[in-house]
Structure formats: structure tokens, C-alpha cells
Structure 1
Amino acid sequence: MDGLFRQPLDGNIDDATRQSNSVIQRVRSDSVLYAQESEFEINRLTAEYMWRPGDDMFARVTGGYLENMFAGVSGELLWYPIDSRLALGVEINYAKQRDFDMLFGLQDYDVITGHASAYYDFGNGFITQIDVGRYLAGDWGATFSLDREFNNGFRIGGYFTLTDVSFDDFGEGSFDKGIRFTVPVSWLTGRPSRSVYSETIQPVLRDGGARLNVANRLYGVTREYRAQGLSDGWGRFYR
């Protein structure tokens, strides 16, 4: 079981008056409503199971309240040989939109979404990723990302997504894009820790190209354990 809960203390989000003008399914652009109508929030509450179905193969199933806006079930399979720079994966999800109060209720909208993904490690900390598939609003397209990971655990990168949603229907910003960074918690606290703080900065938050946020996607998890001898460490980790 895994959970993430939040209790806002203060803020001025209740003064916001801007409402979504999206002409496609509102899967992200109603974020102000989620912030205004919630107090104590269940950001994530899931059960998860990971295993190795075969040599060089890794699998994950996650179910529950997957993120702050969607609940559902997520399944993933990853091929990642220990001596390979290339990894290939596939993920499929059934997601149902959550109520704005971010508690246990659900709205009517649901969607099957998923992606086929390719990852390549160029060395020197540069990692690229391509995801092709269906997004939360039902649109189809691809996301291209490039990240640089440093020896001290810091990571910075960017991405952009193009789908069959036209620039006009997407609205302000024309297409989804952003930059992201990860900071090791040990750098902030001065104490040894494997935890990290991650943040994504987007110029605008619209509905086209929106992907489900699922914790512990397999490529990131397996890369972390490869440095410790994946063939031994993975088995101990899941027992």
C-alpha cells in the first residue's frame, strides 16, 4: 500500500475566477476547481505489485486512487536487459475521473489510455524517451523527452507532446510541453536518503497530451537498482 495525503493550511486559490474554456474533455484544465473544492486531500492511495515474469522482463500492476485527478488500474511490462542501453515498455490503464474534493468520489468520465515506450541511455547521463499512444482526453500522439542525470543525483530535462488535437482546439500554448527537475532529498537535509523531490514546470496546463501520473513506472525503478547489481538486488527488493 502507498499513500500521499495533503492538508492545505492557507492560500488565495479561492479568489481565482478563471475557468476552463477547453473544447475537448477537461482532464487537466479544471485544476483550479480541484484546488478550490478540496481541503484534506487524498492525492494518492494505491496498492501495487511488481515482479519479474522472465529474463530481462519486469512487470507492475497498480490500482486505486492513482493521482489527484484520476483513479483506476494501471499495468506495465518492461524489457530491459542488464547489458543494454535500450529498453522497451508498454503500459495500459483504465482511468476514471475523481470528484473535485479529491476524496473517494468519482465522476462519470472514464477512459482507456496507454503507451508503447522506448528508452535509450546515450551515456554521460543523457537519456531519451519516446512514448506513443492514447492520452487522458482520448487523443492519440507521441511524447518526446530528453533528460540529463548527474552523478550527485540531480536530474533536469524537458519534453513536448504532439497529438491529433489541433493547435486551435488545444488552446493557449498550442501543444503540451514542459521542463522537469529532480533534487535528492539528502542534498536538502544533509542526511543520507534515497528520496527525491521532483517538479514539472509547464507554461500552461491544458487537456491535450495529458498523461496519467502513475508512481513507480518501471524504467525509473529498474535504473535505480541496476547500479547495485540488478539481477541480485531486484529479487531481494520484491521478496
Structure 2
Amino acid sequence: MTRPIPDLPRPRPPRTPLEGRYCRLEQVTPGHFADLWHAYGKDTEGRIWDYLPYGPFESRDDFFAFAQATYLGDDPLFHAIIDARTGKAVGVASLMRITPEFGVIEVGHINYGPPLQKTPAGTEAQYLLMRRAFEELGYRRYEWKCDNANAGSKAAAKRYGFTFEGIFRKHLVVKCRNRDTAWFSITDDEWPAIRAAFESWLEPGNFDEAGRQKIKLGADGTRLHQQHQQQQ
């Protein structure tokens, strides 16, 4: 059964931090730029920039100038992802295309340095942003869009519980290339099951001493929760 439409418009996202077990999300400030440059530099081949409309950058000064012009606005509202173990910023994600009048918001401009990739902190960062959108702000729809050629991003969307909605052909031109854009979404009525899957997966007991996951976060965003229920 479809839930009633919440009161609209919904609030715009605040600039307050988001606290997790493995990471903390803060509004990006110039104080994060050096950490981000260092984390991104771990990708010596520059692959993390392949599907973004900017980068890679030849110098620290070039990156700082880009970050100053791009990371500090209201929409996209960029968040620095701080590794709880090191206190260093290791990636960014933004809330963007914020549409309070319809309760729709998108997560985008996601860029994880190698120290953040395939870690609990990277997954938790996505959970924290979703939780803010659905629970704190009461949004109806949460979107993920990516280049259809970006197999990694599409796999991540499915792992996080997004539903594939289709492809917008020749949607954009990025770095002088035609971009077909794959669209995904989560809606507010789907969020409770997806939230439970995330929270089960993020429990410390789901990781061994080397930090390896014991049970995967399911491709449909709910499988892990179902497995835990079956084991109880």
C-alpha cells in the first residue's frame, strides 16, 4: 500500500555532521582539501575520475582551485567522508538536485579515494545520507544516476538497494563523449527494509578480525536482513 504523501515542501538538508560507527560526514570546507588530495593521489592511474565531468588534476593547486569552486556550494551540497580510524577525509558525496517542493533528492558526485573503497565506512556513508533524506527530512524519493558505461557505479546502486528505472540515451556530453545515463531510485516506502539491511550489515559482528564481511549486503538491499531473520 502506498504511503500518504508527506507535507510538502520538505526542508532543505542542513549542514550539520552525520555520525556513524566507521565514518563521519561533514560539510566540505577548505580544511578538507589537503586530505582529499592525498587520498585521491593513492589512485596513481587516475581511474576514479573516469566517469566524473572533471579531473584528474595535474597539480595540488589545480585541485584546490577546483575544490574551492565546486565543493562549497548549497546544491550540490558536498560532504567530506572522514575515516573514523584516521580522522582524515578520504572521499566525498553530495546531496544534489534538491527539490523540496516534491520531496525528491539525489546523491551524486561520489568520489572515493582508494583508502575508502570497499570498506565499511564507504557503505556507511551512503546509509547515513539516505537516513538523513528519509528519516530526518522526510523526502519521498532518493535518486542515483550514473554513466551507463560505469559498471561499478551500477553495481553499487543495486547493492545499496536502488531500483533500476531505465536509461536516458545521449542524456549528457561528458569529456567530449556521449553519455547514456542509468537512473535508479529508492522510495520512502522501500526505505524501512533497506535500512534494516544496512544496519544488519554494519554491525561489528558481520566482520572478521581482518575486516572482511561475513554476509554480503544483498543486491536487492533487503537480502541480508532476510538472512539474519532466517538465522534467528
TM-score bracket, normalised by the shorter chain, equals: under 0.3
Structure number with the higher helix fraction is: 2
TM-score (norm 2): 0.26
| Higher relative contact order (CA closer than 8 Å, sequence separation 6+) | 2
Q: State the TM-score, normalizing by the size of structure 1.
A: 0.25
Larger radius of gyration: 1
